[in-house]
Amino acid sequence: MRQLDSHFNYFTSADDANLASPEWIRNEWQQARILAQQSEAVLVIDEIQKIVNWSSIVKLLWDEDTRLGVPLKVILTGSSLMLQRGLAESLMGRFEILYSPHWSFSECKEAFGYSFEDFIFFGGYPGAAALIKDEQRWARYMGMSIVEPTISQDILMMEAVKKPALLRQLFMLGSSYSAQELSYTKILGQLQDTGNTVTLAHYLGLLDKANMLTGLRKYSGNQIRARKSSPRLMVYDTSLMTYADGANRRRLLANPMDKGRLIESAVGAYLLARGKEEGFEVFWWRERNNEVDFVIKKGSRLTAIEVKSGRVKNAGGGLAFKRLYPEALSLVVGGTAIRAEEFLLGLHPQLFS
């Protein structure tokens, strides 16, 4: 598929694996170069990761343009997991990463009229928005068009995974436990396939790179302790949590504990998306009975975020954190000052600046 417009933009897609090849990239690139003879042009290649050794030919063509002064800008889009390896292998010093995360609440509200509860349940996959009136069809779409292709086409095609069934089980279990701490030993105890904690940590890292599921590390001034701590599982989009849980909307939102975890997961997913763009890390913190849902670290600055979601938790985590780290900013999302809905709409952009 290719498209030209009057603004000297050239869009093409490598989605057809039978046609796409390094030589195909060269041909498409040459068409964009013709446009660039008239004015500065932009070449967009979608699904670039489907071409074997794509980064090598892109490097060659880019260096040719640089040497000859061709005014062509290039945008490559595709799976984040598979793009990362190609960029690291061949294109060092030649690229800037622009993240395209799941759609935000503000985007879904504007495009589809989502309510707050719509968003925390159905999440930010725009292709699924037309199906939210039929939860069974929505769940089938999530499984067949989002979850399985991401695992089978992105992760398994890119990485050597000896136990694909274990990875799938880890995704389903971990997503259903989003916003909860779960040690690798306990995770192993609930999975049917055999494995070890090192394998689980590796697979969780792959799911993290694929923007599906991550394990937030516990914040500590001692980085060794932080790395050894049990992860707090967190989905990158709440739709992955509700899909994996298998719960219907009415039951899940009617239960304060479940709804609370949904809200906390929505806040966590929002912070993970912003962190990649704005250069901050997301942790969590607990010391005995005191807990902070999220700790944001940007350089030397710390922000402790507690989420009031209706889920029963011990109070005072923010104060305990401040006693240990008096320089930290403390925020409460879900209280009277910052409503969770407003936070997810991005109405407090200055909080981490």
Query: For 210-223, what is each residue's pLDDT tens digit?
Result: 999 999 999 987 66
- Asked whether the CA dihedral 84, 86, 88, 91 is positive or negative, the reply is negative
Note the pLDDT of residue 53.
82
* 100 lies in some domain: no
Nearest to 211 by CA among 76, 344, 80: 80
Q: How confident is the model at residue 4 (pLDDT cuts 50, 70, 90)?
A: very low
Please indicate, yes or no, whether residues 333 and 228 belong to a single structural domain of this protein.
Answer: yes
Q: Are residues 275 and 348 in the same domain?
A: yes
pLDDT, position 10 = 87
- Residue 281 located in a structural domain: yes
**Per-residue DSSP letter, 185:** H
Q: Are residues 81 and 112 in the same domain?
A: no
Domain co-membership, 142 together with 83: no
> Do 261 and 149 belong to one domain?
yes
Give the mean pLDDT of the chain. Answer: 87
Query: Does residue 140 form part of some domain?
Result: yes
Question: What per-residue confidence (pLDDT) applies to 87?
Answer: 65
User: What percent of the chain has pLDDT above 70?
Assistant: 88
- Compute how many other C-beta atoms are within 10 angstroms of the C-beta atom of residue 120: 30
**Residue 122 exposed, middle or buried by CB count within 10 Å (0-12, 13-18, 19+):** buried
Q: What is the pLDDT of residue 1?
A: 47
Q: What residues contact residue 71 under an 8 Å CB cut-off, 6+ apart?
A: 36, 39, 40, 41
- Which tokens is 179 given? 């916003």
Residue whose structure tokens are 């259903």: 176
Q: Residue 97 domain-assigned?
A: no
Quick one: 145 and 25 in the same domain? no
Handedness of CA 109, 114, 117, 123 (dihedral sign): negative
CB 121 within 8 A of CB 253: yes
Residue 160 has pLDDT above 60, yes or no: yes
Indicate whether 96 belongs to any domain: no
309 and 222 in a single domain? The answer is yes
Please tell me whether residues 168 and 276 are part of one structural domain: yes
Does residue 230 have a pLDDT over 50? yes
Q: Higher confidence at residue 75 or residue 51?
A: 75
Q: Kindly indicate the confidence band of residue 89, based on its pLDDT and cuts at 50, 70 and 90.
A: low
Which has the closest alpha carbon to 74: 89, 60, 58, 90?
58
Contact 69, 36 (CB under 8 A): no
- Tell which of 59, 90, 121 closes a domain: 90
Nearest of 163, 164, 129 to residue 145 by alpha carbon: 129
pLDDT attached to residue 83: 67
Q: Which of 90, 119, 147 is the last residue of a domain?
A: 90
Cβ(294)–Cβ(283) under 8 Å?
yes
* Cβ–Cβ under 8 Å, residues 150 and 164: no
Token pair listed for 149:
């292709």
Specify the pLDDT at position 251.
Answer: 87
195: phi then psi, degrees, rounded to nearest 5 = -175, -170
Alpha carbon distance 135, 139 (integer Å): 6
pLDDT digits (tens, 9 = 90+) for 6-24: 456 888 888 765 667 889 9
pLDDT of residue 302: 94
Tell me if residue 325 falls in helix, strand or coil: coil
Total count of domains within the chain: 2
Q: Quote the DSSP letter at residue 253.
A: H
Single-letter amino acid code for the residue at 302: L
| pLDDT at residue 3 is higher than 60 | no
| pLDDT over threshold 80, residue 225 | no
Which two structure tokens, joined as six digits, stand for 125? 């996959």
- 192 lies in the same domain as 323: yes
End-to-end CA distance of the chain: 41
pLDDT computed for residue 267 by the predictor: 97
Which structural domain range is residue 16 located in?
2-90
Q: Is residue 147 part of a domain?
A: yes
Segment among 131-135, 309-313, 318-322 with least mean pLDDT? 309-313
When pLDDT is averaged across residues 325-334 and rounded to a whole number, the result is: 91
Residue 236 lies in a domain: yes
User: Which residue matches tokens 């000859």?
Assistant: 68
**In sequence order, which residues have a C-beta less than 8 Å from that of residue 220 and are 6 or more positions away?**
226, 229, 285
Helix %, strand %, coil % of the chain (to 5)? 50, 15, 30
- Kindly tell me if the per-residue pLDDT of 159 is higher than 50: yes
Is the same domain home to 154 and 44? no
* Residue written as token pair 């000052």: 337
Indicate whether 161 and 273 sit together in one domain: yes
Residue 139's contacts (CB-CB under 8 Å, 6 or more residues apart) are: 243, 246
pLDDT tens per residue across span 276-289: 888 899 999 998 88
Last residue of a domain, one of 90, 125, 147: 90
In the chain, the amino acid numbered 323 is: R
32-66, pLDDT tens digit by residue? 999 898 888 999 998 888 887 888 899 999 999 99
Mean pLDDT calculated for residue range 220-227: 63
Query: Is residue 78 in a domain?
Result: yes
Residue 250 shares a structural domain with residue 128: yes
Confidence of residue 105 (pLDDT cuts 50, 70, 90): very high
Q: pLDDT by residue (tens digit) across 234-269?
A: 999 999 999 999 878 988 889 999 999 999 999 999
Cα diameter, the chain: 66
